[in-house]
Amino acid sequence: MPFIPHTAAETAAMLEAIGARSVDELFDEIPARLRSGPLAGVPEALTEHEIGRLMRERAAADGEFLTFVGAGAYEHHIPAAVWEIAGRGEFYTAYTPYQAEASQGTLQLLYEFQTMIAGLVGLDCANASLYDGASALAEAVLMAVRLHGRSRRVLIPETVHPLYRKVVQTIVSAQSITIDLVPMNAAGTTDAGGLARGLEGAAGLVIPQPNFLGCLEDVHAMTASARRAGALAIGLVNPVACALLAPPGEWGPGCDIAVGEGQPLGAPLSSGGPYFGFMACRREHVRQMPGRIVGRTVDVAGQEAYTLTLQAREQHIRRSRATSNICTNQGLLVTAATVHMALLGPEGLRRVAAASHANTAALRARLEAIPGVRAAFPDTPFFHEVVLRLPVPVPEVLRALEAQGILGGCALGEFYPALTDSLLVCATETKTETDIAHYAHHLERIVSKRRLDPPCAYKDDNPRSP
């Protein structure tokens, strides 16, 4: 029997000990008319070999592509040791560390993780993870509203990831919180005038760095404006970029809260998850932070020890008055991220960031040389993504590139009508000069062919993205 060790003799002996004639009798408190028949919708069992083969066939059918898509999920090299360690049964199959004495491994690791994240974003303390970057942003918005106390309005720039904005809307809308959008300027960054107008009386401002379009925002000025207006500053950052760019704690007068998507720290792309959200804040805000937090303390013999702490914020103690309903979070991904950060260290992470920036600069230069292709925000500094305007319809280009085994970028039309002719491209440190030349070669071919040979009508019949 799959994953059930009982022999017939053991089952019989156990039933006898219980005083039941059959296993079925154990369900006699369930009204008989409710009992279900066989599960017609579940197929017969497969062997491990059979399912292994099916999964290999399906995985192979999905293929492997040369990926220049970023848009919130980034391909980075993951050192071999990362998942060797994270996959160890002692980490992989443990529960949330409620019994501190039997969970010192996970707890110390989480304390180290919190230290690494706090250091990376330049704030005092971090939690042990939230679900993903988007839901972490929603939690930060709720936290800012709690901390502010008087306003229920939060500003989010149009340059924040459009899917994050949707998630925030889903999660905060039932609590009568208003999200006001700050418009984008012609440089692909947040409009200072719009920001100034919106900030009055707001509880918080989200500040993305880099923003969704890869552009670098004037984070010092934005943080300072938020502080002047009495709004909490929420930095939304890429953790790899933090090794190269000024961290939220050092923006202007300093952010209050920093959140982001942890995926670039050791999580495979995996069609969108599991990843993890991280959150850090100033010490004075920690009692409003959601999620698990690990503290260092001592045991009764005075030895160093670790435990979950400040649990009075959480649902199992505070119930309907908790800071959040979150319980299970993304522990295993945090384990991987901790090993990942330890292996790379400050120099390694900075190199990953700088190499991704350099590769994206090289990609942009190569692609801009193609007639008709130009950068949408040519004078705005960027991190590791840029927006390119194309002379031919974007979906068509992407399809043609896909046929060459290239995922060419993220089409922006769906998110920004003014950028319907634009593509968001990314080249992380994983891309070589040859990869970039390969992409440029095919894009040039597709663009010039299409210019010579235009179809009579254009129709987007290739829906993308989840």
Partner 1 sequence: MLIFERGAPGRVNAPQMPRPPAPPGDIPPALLRRAPPALPEVSELQVVRHYTRLSQRNFAIDTHFYPLGSCTMKYNPRAAHVAALLPGFANRHPLAPESTGQGLLACLFELQEMLKDVTGMRAVSLTPMAGAQGEFAGVAMIRAYHVARNDLERDEILIPKAAHGTNPATAAMCGYRVREIDVRADGDIDLAALDAAIGPKTAGLMLTNPSTLGVFDRHIEDIAQRVHAAGGLLYYDGANLNAILGQVKPGDMGFDVVHLNLHKTFATPHGGGGPGAGPVGVGERLLPFLPVPMVGESGGRYYWITEKTRPQSIGRLSAFAGNVGVLLRAYVYARLVGREGMARIAQYAALNANYLLGRLSRLGFEPAYPGRRAAHEFLLTLKGLKEDTGVTALDVAKRLLDKGYHAPTIYFPLMVPECLLIEPTETESRDEIDGFVAAMAEVLAEAKTTPELLKSAPHTLPVCRVDEVRAARELDLAWRAHPTKA
Ligand X SMILES: Cc1ncc(COP(=O)(O)O)c(C=O)c1O
**Which residues, at least 6 apart from 70, have a Cβ–Cβ distance to it below 8 Å?**
214, 384, 385, 410, 424, 425, 426, 428
Residue 151 or 338: the one with the smaller Cβ distance to partner 1 is 338
The pair of structure tokens assigned to 132 is 């993903």
- Interacting residues with ligand X between 311 and 340 (CB under 6 A): 327-328
Residue 130 or 199: the one with the smaller Cβ distance to ligand X is 130
**Which residues, at least 6 apart from 300, have a Cβ–Cβ distance to it below 8 Å?**
none
CB of 204: closest distance to partner 1 in angstroms? 18
CB of 325: closest distance to ligand X in angstroms? 7
- Interacting residues with partner 1 between 133 and 162 (CB under 8 A): 133-135, 161
**Cis status of the peptide bond prior to 162, with omega within 30 of 0:** no
CB of 397: closest distance to partner 1 in angstroms? 13
Residue 190 or 307: the one with the smaller Cβ distance to partner 1 is 307
- Interacting residues with partner 1 between 108 and 127 (CB under 8 A): 108-112, 114-116, 118-120, 122-126
Residue 36 or 328: the one with the smaller Cβ distance to ligand X is 328
- The Cα 8–Cα 350 span in angstroms is 60
Site string for partner 1, 58-87 (x = CB under 8 A): xxxxxxxx-x-x-xxx-x-x-x-x-xxx-x
Site string for partner 1, 6-35 (x = CB under 8 A): x---xx-xxx-xxxx--xx-xxxxxx--xx
CB of 278: closest distance to ligand X in angstroms? 18
Q: Residue 2, SS3?
A: coil
- Alpha-carbon distances, residue 330 vs 48, 280, 296 (angstroms): 27, 16, 21
- Alpha-carbon distances, residue 80 vs 87, 108, 266, 287, 343 (angstroms): 11, 22, 10, 37, 10
**Max CA distance (Å), the chain:** 84
Residue 135 or 223: the one with the smaller Cβ distance to ligand X is 135
CB of 84: closest distance to partner 1 in angstroms? 8
- Interacting residues with partner 1 between 380 and 409 (CB under 8 A): 381, 398, 402, 407
- Interacting residues with partner 1 between 274 and 303 (CB under 8 A): 274, 276, 282-283, 286, 292-301, 303
* Residue 192 contacts which entry, ligand X, partner 1, none (Cβ below 5-8 A, type-dependent): none
CB burial class (10 A; 0-12, 13-18, 19+) of residue 269? middle
- The Cα 14–Cα 402 span in angstroms is 59
Task: Count how many Cα atoms sit within 13 Å of the Cα of residue 108 in the half-sphere of its side chain.
Answer: 8
> DSSP readout, 333-383?
HHHHHHHHHHHHHHHHHHHHHHHHHHHHHHHHHHHHTSTT-EESSTTS-BS
The residue within the footprint of partner 1, chosen from 154, 199, 237, 349 (CB under 8 A), is: 349
Length of the chain: 466
The residue within the footprint of partner 1, chosen from 186, 193, 197, 318 (CB under 8 A), is: 318
- Interacting residues with partner 1 between 184 and 203 (CB under 8 A): none
* Residue 92 contacts which entry, partner 1, ligand X, none (Cβ below 5-8 A, type-dependent): partner 1
Residue 73 or 199: the one with the smaller Cβ distance to partner 1 is 73
- The Cα 88–Cα 375 span in angstroms is 46
Supply angle C-alpha 61, 67, 70, rounded to 5.
125
- Interacting residues with partner 1 between 205 and 224 (CB under 8 A): 216, 219-220
Residue 297 or 325: the one with the smaller Cβ distance to ligand X is 325
Q: Residue 260, SS3?
A: strand
- The Cα 252–Cα 82 span in angstroms is 35
Check residue 369 for interaction with ligand X (CB under 6 A): no
CB of 138: closest distance to ligand X in angstroms? 16
Q: Residue 288, SS3?
A: helix
Residue 55 or 327: the one with the smaller Cβ distance to ligand X is 327
* Residue 94 contacts which entry, partner 1, ligand X, none (Cβ below 5-8 A, type-dependent): partner 1
* Residue 5 contacts which entry, ligand X, partner 1, none (Cβ below 5-8 A, type-dependent): partner 1
* Residue 244 contacts which entry, ligand X, partner 1, none (Cβ below 5-8 A, type-dependent): partner 1
The residue within the footprint of partner 1, chosen from 8, 21, 48, 456 (CB under 8 A), is: 48
CB of 137: closest distance to partner 1 in angstroms? 9
Residue 71 or 205: the one with the smaller Cβ distance to partner 1 is 71
- Alpha-carbon distances, residue 194 vs 89, 184, 227, 237, 457 (angstroms): 52, 9, 16, 22, 38
* Residue 374 contacts which entry, partner 1, ligand X, none (Cβ below 5-8 A, type-dependent): none
Task: Count how many Cα atoms sit within 13 Å of the Cα of residue 61 in the half-sphere of its side chain.
Answer: 6
Residue 96 or 430: the one with the smaller Cβ distance to ligand X is 96
Q: Return residues touching ligand X (CB under 6 A).
A: 327-328
